[in-house]
Each structure stands twice: as C-alpha cells, then as structure tokens.
Structure 1
Amino acid sequence: MCEANAYMVKNDEEILLMESVDLVEPEPDGTFRLVGIFGDQMTVKGKLKRMNLVDHRILFEA
C-alpha cells in the first residue's frame, strides 16, 4: 500500500491527524485537504513540514 499517516507536530510531539491518507491537496486558502482511502476527508491548517513516503508519514506543523 502507498498511503501514509498524517501527523501534526506540536512541541516536538507528533499527534495523529488521519490514518491511510491517499491524497494531500493544497487549497487556495493555504490549508491542505486530506483524503483517506475510504473517502474520509479533513482540512489541515498548517505548514507541510516533511513527507517521508518510505516510512508512510506526512508531517505538518502549526
């Protein structure tokens, strides 16, 4: 599988936002839309810090 888990980094702690993310799409307002493999969606306000697709991790920071 190619999906990844998305996390928000706050105070050096990683907080899980969504599992099995299939799509990360930047929105015009500066947020990111995350879509999971089952169609679930959420919007993340923050900066994309790192994507490590080998480890299946997407990191955002506030």
Structure 2
Amino acid sequence: MCEANAYMVKNDAETLIMESVDLVEPEGEGAWRLVGIFGDQKIVKGRIRGMNLVDHKILFEE
C-alpha cells in the first residue's frame, strides 16, 4: 500500500493529523484536503513542510 500518515509539526514535535492518507489536494489559499483510504476527509491549514515517502509521512506546518 502507498498511503501515508499526515502530521503537523510544531517546535520539532510531530502531531498526527490523519492516518492512511491516500490523496492530498490544494483547497484554497494555504489549505489542503486530505482524503483517507476509506473516503474520510479533513482540511488542514498550513503548508507542506516535507514528505518522506519511504517512511510514509506527510509533514505540515502552520
């Protein structure tokens, strides 16, 4: 499987936002729509700090 977990990074600490993210799409100015493998959705405000696809991580920051 190719899904990843999404995290918000603050002060070098990672907080889990959503597990098993299958799709990341821009959702307006400074926001992203995350869609999980079961169709669940969440809007995240911030910017993408980085992605580590080997470790299945998507990192966001405000």
Alignment TM class, shorter chain as reference: over 0.9
What TM-score does the superposition give when structure 1 sets the normalisation length? Answer: 0.95
Q: CA deviation at 1:27?
A: 1.4
What percent identity do the matched residue pairs reach? 76
Q: Partner residue of 2:57?
A: 57
Structure 1: tracts of 5 or more residues without a match: none
Q: CA deviation at 1:54?
A: 1.2
Moved over 2 A (4+): none
Q: Partner residue of 1:30?
A: 30
Aligned pair count reads 62
Q: CA deviation at 1:29?
A: 2.7
Structure 2: tracts of 5 or more residues without a match: none
Q: Partner residue of 1:21?
A: 21
Per-residue deviation, residues 29-60 of structure 1 (Å, max 9, x unmatched): 32000000000100000110001111100000
